[in-house]
Structure 1
Amino acid sequence: MRVFIFMLTYLITSFAEKQDLSGKMLTFPEESDTAHVILVPNQSKSLPAVTLCLRFFSDLSRAQSLFSFATPTNENAFLLFKRENSVYEVDQGGQDIVLFWGLDDKRNEWNSVCTTWNSQTGIAQLWVNGKPSTRKGVRRGRDISGAPSIILGQDQDSYGGKFDRGQSFTGMLTDVHMWDTVLPYPEIVLYMNRIPQKTDGNVINWRSLEFTRKGYVIVENQVN
């Protein structure tokens, strides 16, 4: 298993390209079980907390994966999944919770999403277009550890693969940032309002992103 993980990490980093994607977006033009983007994190240490922010544009009403973070021991170490319109799921370490229900998101428009989780308290929360969810507890006292496999466009049902076409993302993604802390509320407000922030993500940074595209995925200028 260790040899497999080493080889997988080597292959990912060998073919990865690093770019400043400011003003750019990733376009996933069609439903598939192959098209995805592998992100190489800026660090691979254990995560005692997470803030994940991204923007997406899609016309899908079915379930779709927005962000999939797997480790060798858990394919859902941190998953942001949209079940249907206005219903989001955060899966941390194999335990999933619904954090957003009944507040409007928009099809065929840009949606801004941030989610936070703190292992010390277990508290998780979600913001969509500036509106917060209730705060709920999940996997208190357990950091995220293990070599990460981070994928956009697909939900990993095994480490680095086993994709389901019916859970694939179709549309555009941009401004993906991930931190190893819970971002202060004022910083989340800045992100929601597209105002420049004090710090970029220190785990995933859209302005300095190392990534590999697989299948039919295009980097384009962002369309507002």
Structure 2
Amino acid sequence: MEFGLLLLMLTACAAAPQDLSGKMFNFQKETATDHVKLTASRQDFGPLTVCHRSFTALKRGHPFFSMATPSNDNAFLVYWNPSNRVMEIYLEPKVTPTVTFENMDYKPNMWHSICTTWDSTSGLVQLWLDGQPSMRLSAVTGTISGPVTIVLGQEQDSPGGTFVQSESFQGMMSDVHMWDFVLPSCEIRNYMDDCNFMPGNVLNWSELEYQITGAVLVENKEPPTCRTSCSVSKTMS
């Protein structure tokens, strides 16, 4: 009976979307098991934008956002490679990144805000780090055909599994949002400033359906400071 209760606690599933405003996931240790699985509002994608905030002391490579399909373990993966201070974006089923953003000012032991956009028609990918946009680099065109499995805390080598401890995320993560279009730059800046931005229509931190496996905690996060805002029409472009 006690074992059953412990297992239930370690694999807690939110029965309905939860408002995680002011909260964060705390990935306490490096493991090949602990992760959070997110439920998306749709399963097939053309263009997309993913934003998140993270804090870690890791000095090795680690994932931020891992989306897999039955035919593609790296359908959309955002990964930090510290060897050359490179942020890697994977959009193809291969072991090398589709796009790399070099000389990124990503430091340990501080909060970072990261947004990644992909225009599936032009193939252009752009990364924003702490309010600074990168160049738009050419990647691949096309669509991502689901069903999709989205995981935080691990890099998927098969949908929902085949994790490797040395590729796990250890630290804190918050404000995960996903849109099924390229978010306008003004809205990205609002997200970066944590001020009045358009919430994700695929993943919304304030209406998030998720499942925790392992010792991942949901904790309070420091209250945000709204620095700036900009007026923009809340329409998809």
Give the Å deviation of 1:106: 2.4
Number of aligned residue pairs: 208
TM-score, normalised to structure 2, is 0.84
The residue matched to 2:98 in structure 1 has which SS?
strand
CA deviation map 1:107-139 (0-9, x unaligned): 111000000001100000101111122211111
Runs of 4+ residues over 6 Å off in structure 1? none
| 1:187 aligned partner, one-letter code | E
* 1:161-180 alignment runs, 5 A limit: 161-180=161-180
Which letter maps to 1:116?
Answer: T
Counterparts of 2:222 and 2:158 in 1: how far apart (Å)? Answer: 33
Partner SS state of residue 201, structure 2:
coil
* Structure number with higher strand proportion: 1
Q: Secondary structure at the match of 1:187?
A: helix
Q: Contact 1:99 / 1:126 at 8 angstroms: preserved in 2?
A: no
Map of 1:88-107 to 2, 5 A cutoff? 88-94=87-93, 96-107=97-108
Q: Secondary structure at the match of 2:189?
A: helix
Q: Report the Cα offset of residue 98 of structure 1.
A: 4.1
- Residues 1:201 and 2:195 are matched in the alignment: no
What one-letter code is carried by the residue in structure 2 that aligns with 1:174?
S
- Counterparts of 1:87 and 1:136, CA distance in 2: 14
CA distance in 2, matches of 1:190, 1:94: 33
Instruction: Output the CA distance in 2 between the equivalents of 1:70 and 1:103.
Output: 25
| AA aligned opposite 1:216 | A
Amino acid at match of 1:170: Q
- Give 1:189 shift: 0.7
Query: Where do residues 114-129 of structure 1 align in structure 2 (5 Å cutoff)?
Result: 114-129=115-130
Bigger shift: 87-96 or 211-220? 87-96
Unaligned 5+ runs, structure 2: 1-11, 224-237
Structure with the greater alpha carbon radius of gyration: 2
Residue 204 of structure 1: SS of its match in structure 2?
coil
Taking structure 1 as the reference length, the TM-score comes to 0.89
TM superposition shift of 1:73: 0.7
Partner of 1:4: none
CA-CA distance at 1:97 after TM superposition: 3.4
Asked whether the 8 Å contact 1:126–1:132 carries over to 2, the reply is yes
2:57 alignment counterpart: 59
Q: Which residue of 2 aligns with 1:222?
A: 221
- % identity of equivalent residues: 45
RMSD (Å) for aligned C-alpha atoms: 1.5
Contact in 2 for aligned 1:81/1:89 (Cα 8 Å): yes
The answer to whether 1:29 aligns with 2:3 is: no
